[in-house]
Structure 1
Amino acid sequence: MGELNTFPVSYKVEGRRIVIVGGGEEALNKTRLAIKTTAEVVIVSRQIEADFSDQPVTVVARPFTESDLEGAALVFVADHGPDGDAAKLAARARGIPLNVVDVPHECDFYTPAIIDRAPLSIAIASEGDAPVLARLIRARIEAMLSPNLGALARLAGSMRHRVAERLQGARARRYYEEIVTSPEIEVALVRGQGTAAAEAALDRHADAGETGGVVWLIGAGPGSEDLLTLRAQRLLQEADVVVHDALVPAAVVEMGRRDAERISVGKRKGHHSFTQAEINALIVRLGLEGKRVARLKGGDPMVFGRAGEEIDALRRNGIPFHIVPGVTAALAAAADTATPVTLRNVSTGFVLATAHGANSGELRHWAAIASAGLTLALYMGKSVAAETASRLIGEGASPAIPVGLVVQAGRKDRLLYRGTLGDLAAGGVDLADGPAIIFVGESIAHGDWSEAIALARSEFRVA
């Protein structure tokens, strides 16, 4: 995720002026934007070419003077002649934010594409690089939003003092969440009964008292934020605390509420900032405090995520919990390589296992699975990949069985490796850093591994 060169803000212009220097179509376009505010909009130009007659603005048909900027909050320059140059110098001398139309490098601020649901506004900006894209995104968002959002925002604002007297902290936030999302309250608002419905909801929240905590065990997927489920996104916005693992990307953590507490309990191989027992104790404590906790885990919480231990701790302490599935790394790796891990007449099953610490009995079982045609997906086995492959061969698996490895599955920087079980056992290739999935089975030859690095000179057949 890149860094912004601008800081998004809502700039207060109430009781002040917005001065637009220029009299052509560019000035008229900025005027249509400026009149959406309560500011006095003033057009200054020696040549008024566009039709401003239907706009609630003051038009001054003369050359620009510095006095035109008295009381100005913002200045737009849509004149590329001497008046525009004079306005730019005067605005900079007075420290007034300046926008020079279609000249991004001279702008102090950019005008975003705006969705107007006053007092609610949504701005989509591209720092002047792609205004057409910003407008297209605005159109898509507009189609999703109720026309009553502004009225709902005003209703919530009108309840502020009464809510402050009766609800605090998370309880107040939950009340406001109901006000702005409840279809029943929106219907009441349209019927002119919004205040009564909002007051009834306030009574209900106040009478309910403190609510207990809850923990959501959320799968964050393999590392690409757009693989997160819609349910996971929604719950992240509701959580008071986000407890996340090291493998959860920052972009996913950032999807939580800005004011939510964030606690990293990162565990990587050989580096444990929290033990599992400490994590269990942490989420139990937060739940007992009445917090709504998003416990973010890489992949799927129920697949090598140690969710079972956390569930046991929550159950013992009577804390409600819910599980939100995520895309596990093996499925992301299969998608990365178009590998059908189950395939008619080739692979009748798909087995997920962890190679780290596997004993002889498990290896014997895996060797039989791979030899029978099923697809094996090994997690946490990169550091012992060559050893595991050798032991599988020793337990009867054929060295010719196709093998594929995906490091950083589901991410843009993922890397692929291909070969046979014998190639992997030889250990001739240094694998890239990062979590890896090792596929073993005949179905691997039916995937797209054309971008993969060969584990050895030998090639496996691609169907």
Structure 2
Amino acid sequence: MNWFPLFCDLRHKTVLLVGGGAVAERKARLLLKAGADVRVCATHFSSPFYEWQQAGKLTLREARFSPEHLDGCWLAIAATDSHEVNQQVSDYASARQMFCNVVDAPAQASAIMPSVVDRSPLMIAISSAGDAPVMARLLREKIEALLPQHLGKVAAWAGALRPRVKSTFNEAGQRRRFWEKLFHHDRLAQTLANGDDKQAEKLTEALFNEPLAQQGEVVLVGAGPGDAGLLTLKGLQQIQQADVVVYDRLVSEEVLELVRRDAERIFVGKRAGYHCVPQEAINQILLEQAGQGKRVVRLKGGDPFIFGRGAEELEALSGSGIPFSVVPGITAASGCSAYSGIPLTHRDYAQSVRLVTGHVQKNGELDWQNLAAERQTLVFYMGLTQAAEIQRQLLAHGMSGGMPVALVENGTSTRQRVVAGQLSELAELATQAQSPSLIIIGRVVALREPLRWF
């Protein structure tokens, strides 16, 4: 994040606007709407500036920019057609530790004015850090079309209720559930839009009198293999409604960025310097958090029912009478193969796919004879440390040493790396990869070069 998003209260605060043309005009309109005390400095002004001055809305100074014009200002905006003048404004503002917006020149600026969707007091700002202003404008237009005009009235109504909500409900979770009920109310928003405050008060009073559900619940959510874009829409909705998110090592930082900011996060995975939290302890965490009436999301990498031990966690919840639901995710086999250009099945090479845990023992509990069969694709999860044993067993049971293999490291993420070769090299290839990595074995791996796109 190169720019920190910040809303400023400019009411009755002095802002210097340097420039008097059409671009400066647009900035002046926004500043006046925000209630700022606007000073405008330029050698010439368009007609709206004189109208605003006559109406007492701003102050004009017909002069070239001078550093003393910044005296007493909270913010400076350089909106001239002169690169040199704009640079001067920026330099002098920086020397005074004052933020400065330079129109169409983000490299010179210390502040950016974003595209704005105004549903006051609800405000949505969109910025491309100056790289793609047209894209930001187009996105603003889309959001404008999606959001009804009366949202501002609903937000203002909620603002007036905040003291009562805080005194009525002691816990943050209770307050959040009340707000969710209010904002999802099918009639309140339309009543406010119609200006019927009496009916709105009646509907709101009914919400205060309704009991809030106290029973907790757990939602098992598959986070996908890494790329946040592969998180399902339902999964996104759940992590943004959670009171608590319990997550493991395979959940990417990009996905965690989408979790509600005020949700409690509990890490239960294995990482350097830490021991893996035992499954029994994870089960107990879920039971305790849900038992406190919280909405708990158990966030797992990939799909929770494919080598994710999700069923064990649900058994514990079921045995204790805790409500639960499951949101499946894209499993690593599907995501990593697609992002590597490797089809898991192909009419000419593989008519079946086997997903296999790589946690194999030396004496082997896997059906190696069938795993070594032709015309199928093998995908080994968690197999990096057992790569040598996988190679030995498959070769011993008749699989060709020339069978194509691929190790996909950090699959679907921006750090994805593929190490490819043949089965006889698997043990050596594994030393070139890092965890988490997926091992794909089969004739389809040979299609990677012509089909890969990531």
The normalised TM-score by structure 2 is: 0.87
Q: Which residue of 2 aligns with 1:457?
A: none
User: For the structure 1 residues 91 and 53, does the alpha-carbon distance in structure 2 shift closer, same or farther, using more than 3 Å as the test?
Assistant: same
Q: Is the 8 A contact 1:179 1:198 kept in 2?
A: no
User: For the structure 1 residues 408 and 82, does the alpha-carbon distance in structure 2 shift closer, same or farther, using more than 3 Å as the test?
Assistant: closer
**What CA deviation, in whole Å up to 9, does each residue of 1:250-291 have, x standing for no partner?**
221121121111111122599524221111111111110111
Q: Which residue of 2 aligns with 1:30?
A: 27
Per mean C-alpha deviation after superposition, the further-off stretch among 22-31 and 42-51 is 42-51
Q: SS at the partner of 1:386?
A: helix
The alpha-carbon deviation at position 59 of structure 1 amounts to: 5.0
The structure 1 residue matched to 2:343, chosen from 331, 340, 346, is 340
The alpha-carbon deviation at position 300 of structure 1 amounts to: 0.9
The structure 1 residue matched to 2:409, chosen from 407, 410, 428, is 407
The alpha-carbon deviation at position 339 of structure 1 amounts to: 2.4
**What CA deviation, in whole Å up to 9, does each residue of 1:184-213 have, x standing for no partner?**
333333333466346535534543145111
Q: SS at the partner of 2:180?
A: helix
Q: SS at the partner of 1:215?
A: strand
Q: SS at the partner of 1:438?
A: strand
The normalised TM-score by structure 1 is: 0.85
Q: Is the 8 A contact 1:110 1:127 kept in 2?
A: yes
Measure the CA separation in 2 of the matches of 1:247 and 1:67. Answer: 56
Q: Is the 8 A contact 2:372 2:398 kept in 1?
A: no
Q: Which residue of 2 aligns with 1:437?
A: 438
The structure 2 residue matched to 1:39, chosen from 36, 41, 44, is 36
Measure the CA separation in 2 of the matches of 1:417 and 1:368. Answer: 25
Measure the CA separation in 1 of the matches of 2:292 and 2:103. Answer: 53
Q: Which residue of 2 aligns with 1:323?
A: 326
The structure 2 residue matched to 1:394, chosen from 389, 393, 396, is 396
**What CA deviation, in whole Å up to 9, does each residue of 1:346-396 have, x standing for no partner?**
433222110212576644x34324414222211111111122121122123
1:251 has 2:254 as partner: yes
**What CA deviation, in whole Å up to 9, does each residue of 1:310-343 have, x standing for no partner?**
1122112211111111111110122023322223
User: For the structure 1 residues 71 and 333, does the alpha-carbon distance in structure 2 shift closer, same or farther, using more than 3 Å as the test?
Assistant: same
Q: Which residue of 2 aligns with 1:78?
A: 79
Measure the CA separation in 2 of the matches of 1:353 and 1:320. Answer: 31
Q: Is the 8 A contact 2:16 2:73 kept in 1?
A: yes
User: For the structure 1 residues 70 and 421, does the alpha-carbon distance in structure 2 shift closer, same or farther, using more than 3 Å as the test?
Assistant: closer
The alpha-carbon deviation at position 119 of structure 1 amounts to: 0.9
Measure the CA separation in 1 of the matches of 2:377 and 2:105. Answer: 58
The structure 2 residue matched to 1:289, chosen from 292, 296, 305, is 292
The alpha-carbon deviation at position 135 of structure 1 amounts to: 2.4
User: For the structure 1 residues 305 and 139, does the alpha-carbon distance in structure 2 shift closer, same or farther, using more than 3 Å as the test?
Assistant: same
Q: Which residue of 2 aligns with 1:375?
A: 377
**What CA deviation, in whole Å up to 9, does each residue of 1:183-242 have, x standing for no partner?**
433333333346634653553454314511111111111111111111111111111111
Measure the CA separation in 2 of the matches of 1:157 and 1:276. Answer: 43
Q: Is the 8 A contact 1:28 1:50 kept in 2?
A: no
- Equivalence map 1:132-151=2 (5 Å): 132-151=134-153
Q: Which residue of 1 aligns with 2:11?
A: 14
Letter in 2 for 1:440: I
Measure the CA separation in 2 of the matches of 1:91 and 1:223. Answer: 43
The structure 2 residue matched to 1:180, chosen from 180, 183, 192, is 183
Measure the CA separation in 2 of the matches of 1:153 and 1:345. Answer: 60
Q: Which residue of 1 aligns with 2:235?
A: 232
Q: Is the 8 A contact 1:404 1:419 kept in 2?
A: yes
Measure the CA separation in 2 of the matches of 1:186 and 1:209. Answer: 21
Per mean C-alpha deviation after superposition, the further-off stretch among 41-50 and 21-30 is 41-50
Measure the CA separation in 2 of the matches of 1:87 and 1:399. Answer: 70
Letter in 2 for 1:10: F
Q: Which residue of 1 aligns with 2:62?
A: 62
Q: Is the 8 A contact 2:343 2:444 kept in 1?
A: yes
Measure the CA separation in 2 of the matches of 1:61 and 1:185. Answer: 49
Q: Is the 8 A contact 1:167 1:206 kept in 2?
A: no
Q: SS at the partner of 2:30?
A: helix
Point out where structure 1 has 5 or more consecutive residues left out of the alignment: 453-463
- Equivalence map 1:172-211=2 (5 Å): 172-193=175-196, 196-197=199-200, 199-201=202-204, 203-204=206-207, 206-211=209-214
Measure the CA separation in 1 of the matches of 2:89 and 2:431. Answer: 62
Measure the CA separation in 1 of the matches of 2:310 and 2:223. Answer: 13
User: For the structure 1 residues 291 and 336, does the alpha-carbon distance in structure 2 shift closer, same or farther, using more than 3 Å as the test?
Assistant: same
User: For the structure 1 residues 29 and 352, does the alpha-carbon distance in structure 2 shift closer, same or farther, using more than 3 Å as the test?
Assistant: same
Q: Is the 8 A contact 1:377 1:439 kept in 2?
A: yes
Point out where structure 2 has 5 or more consecutive residues left out of the alignment: none
The structure 2 residue matched to 1:100, chosen from 99, 102, 110, is 102
The structure 2 residue matched to 1:165, chosen from 164, 167, 172, is 167
Identity %: 37
Q: Is the 8 A contact 1:370 1:440 kept in 2?
A: no
User: For the structure 1 residues 260 and 429, does the alpha-carbon distance in structure 2 shift closer, same or farther, using more than 3 Å as the test?
Assistant: closer
Measure the CA separation in 1 of the matches of 2:373 and 2:273. Answer: 33
Per mean C-alpha deviation after superposition, the further-off stretch among 396-405 and 227-236 is 396-405
Q: Is the 8 A contact 1:175 1:201 kept in 2?
A: no
User: For the structure 1 residues 54 and 350, does the alpha-carbon distance in structure 2 shift closer, same or farther, using more than 3 Å as the test?
Assistant: farther
Measure the CA separation in 2 of the matches of 1:89 and 1:402. Answer: 60
User: For the structure 1 residues 195 and 162, does the alpha-carbon distance in structure 2 shift closer, same or farther, using more than 3 Å as the test?
Assistant: farther
Letter in 2 for 1:225: A
